[in-house]
Structure 1
Amino acid sequence: MDSLMFEKMWNECERKNLSISKKFWDLRAEEFNKIINNNEEENIDLVKFLDSRRILNNECSILDVGCGAGKYSLQFSKYVKNTIGIDISSKMIEYAIQNMKNMSIDNIEYKVAAWQSLKLDDYNWGKKFDLVFASMTPAINSKDALLKMIEASKRYCFMSGFVYRNDNIKNQLREKILGKNKIYNKKFENNIYYAFNILWNMGIHAEIQYKNVQWNKEWDLSKAIDVYTLQFEDLEIENSRDIIKSYLESISDNGKVKDNVNAKVAWMLWRIDE
């Protein structure tokens, strides 16, 4: 298939309502901030991966798209000249700034910005960064978002995302909301697939590594209802919140909702100045 086919398929998955995305990540900001230092091994592995490609050095400038509470930008600060982190969630950025201050770091700048609507010219970001980095973020959700990464980079781009993810609760809710026979477009599980093939058709041959991951989730019932409601809000299904509330109440234990997630993640790196 040519690039236009992958572009069309990707656009059909794109989340159009950025206000829903902002609400979702604002809601989860405290949770992500609490676990920011709990995956030190994963952080180190990714830093080692980038360092082995001779990307990270004291002259390197990084743009971290969808930076969250600073999980990677805080790590990069030890190795590079400077980093700019952006996120659609103002709550995430508040935590990132506080984390930076707590660690006495002075080579990171954080901004509240949605990558999908951001214009590089407004920030003078054209060909500015040695690495444009986008880890596990739904911000890279279309060909335009992908090309913007390339336009902002003068050397490398990195993108990671799920190639497979199994959430038991979300699977059950999907069936209850849509019906067992309804085909559901898994928005963010195909991002790497579409991006890789679009790059391939552009003559850019990205390097890919795969990682198997798993983790446990636990939320208070009220927060779980809000989180899952926002995940399905794009579908605009009548009474979806009532369906979600009823199911989560039925599986909750002492006011808690727990789930186990198994997934495969892809790291994708490509160079643009060859």
Structure 2
Amino acid sequence: MKAFFNPTVWEQEWKEYRDGAAARMRRSGIDPATAFNAKAQKFNEQSFNEEGRKRSTRIVNWLESRGVNFKGASVLDVGAASGVFTVPFAERGANVTAFESSPPQVELLKRNTARFTENKVEIVSGQFEEINIRQKGWDRAFDLVFVSMCPVVHDWDSVEHILSCARKFAYISMPVSSSENSLVNEVTPLITGRPFEAKVTEMGYLLHLLCLKGCAYETLVTRELKTTEHTHKEALEEAMMWLRHHDLPADERSRSIVEEHLKRNYPEDKVQVHQGGRFGKVLIRLEDQSMYVGE
């Protein structure tokens, strides 16, 4: 029982955890830093369509309701992609440093933020884990450090790297359970003989260590789903990737089963896939830690 209250034990357990997003990507032969290179354009479209903008607005509104003021604030957006949050931050008056490792995403980010001249967006690329915070001048430099669904969060050391940049707030969002995919749900029983079962993920390590480390924070867990449309070929490759991510059989037999399932159930070469899951959002208060600050 003593180990439950020992942060050193939890730090080591998280470091050795093998089912985090970054670890699963690497097992699938995917570099987390460039995982979205091939999907950059599609991800950009999904980020800025009506549904994508609504998702971003809900998060930004929640942050403002918790006391984050974007007008004139300095924000570090880690894993900025093509600007899904950088853009609304800048629209609300923030000065944003957008950090992104994927070259195709960086090009889209430049295009999407070119219109901001008064509240400029600075774009930085590279590997966030390799940034020397002090040399970069980022030590406690930002009112808000924002990290949404980014594999740079993979152990407590990576969390401390993020917190070291923040002056007032740090926001981290992560999956609470393994991601859901309607197509994977359909084909998993055909491949394994049993239904797909979502697993609880590393969000628990983050929350428990924040508690043990004496941090002031608030969290929100929601279930979010989005719908995308694919051709048979795109859906097949998507399903195979998800099978690998979840350590399910992704061999030629599985590929044949998925192909046959798509032909039989989606004859028009249009496959609607519902994907998402349970996600946790954590706002860490580094300066004003009382719930009465806004009164």
TM-score clears 0.5: yes
- 2:58 maps to what in 1? 45
In structure 2, relative to structure 1, the CA distance for the partners of 1:173 and 1:206 (3 Å cut) is farther
1:4 equivalent in alignment to 2:8: yes
| Aligned residue type for 2:285 | R
Please tell me whether the aligned partners of residues 77 and 147 of structure 2 are also in contact (alpha carbons under 8 angstroms).
Answer: yes
In structure 2, relative to structure 1, the CA distance for the partners of 1:94 and 1:152 (3 Å cut) is same
User: Match of 2:171, SS?
Assistant: strand
Please tell me whether the aligned partners of residues 61 and 130 of structure 1 are also in contact (alpha carbons under 8 angstroms).
Answer: yes
- 2:292 maps to what in 1? none
Distance between the aligned counterparts of 2:181 and 2:132, measured in 1?
35
Name the count of aligned residue pairs.
Answer: 270
Q: How does 1:71-220 map to 2 (within 5 A)?
A: 71-101=84-114, 107-164=120-177, 165-171=179-185, 190-220=201-231
Please tell me whether the aligned partners of residues 225 and 277 of structure 2 are also in contact (alpha carbons under 8 angstroms).
Answer: yes
Which of 258, 282, 293 is the matching residue for 1:248? 258
- 1:263 maps to what in 2? 277
The runs of 5 or more residues in structure 1 that have no matched partner are none
Once the two structures are overlaid, the 10-residue window that deviates more, 103-112 or 75-84, is 103-112
In structure 2, relative to structure 1, the CA distance for the partners of 1:87 and 1:230 (3 Å cut) is farther
- 2:293 maps to what in 1? none
In structure 2, relative to structure 1, the CA distance for the partners of 1:159 and 1:176 (3 Å cut) is farther
Q: How does 1:6-85 map to 2 (within 5 A)?
A: 6-11=10-15, 12=17, 13-14=19-20, 15-16=22-23, 17=26, 20-37=31-48, 38=50, 39-85=52-98
User: Match of 1:207, SS?
Assistant: strand
Bigger Cα Rg: 2
**TM-score, normalized by length of structure 1?**
0.82
Please tell me whether the aligned partners of residues 27 and 227 of structure 1 are also in contact (alpha carbons under 8 angstroms).
Answer: no
The runs of 5 or more residues in structure 2 that have no matched partner are 290-295
| Aligned residue type for 1:33 | N
Instruction: Tell me how large the CA RMSD over aligned residues is.
Output: 3.2
Distance between the aligned counterparts of 1:173 and 1:105, measured in 2?
51
| Aligned residue type for 1:59 | G
**TM-score, normalized by length of structure 2?**
0.77
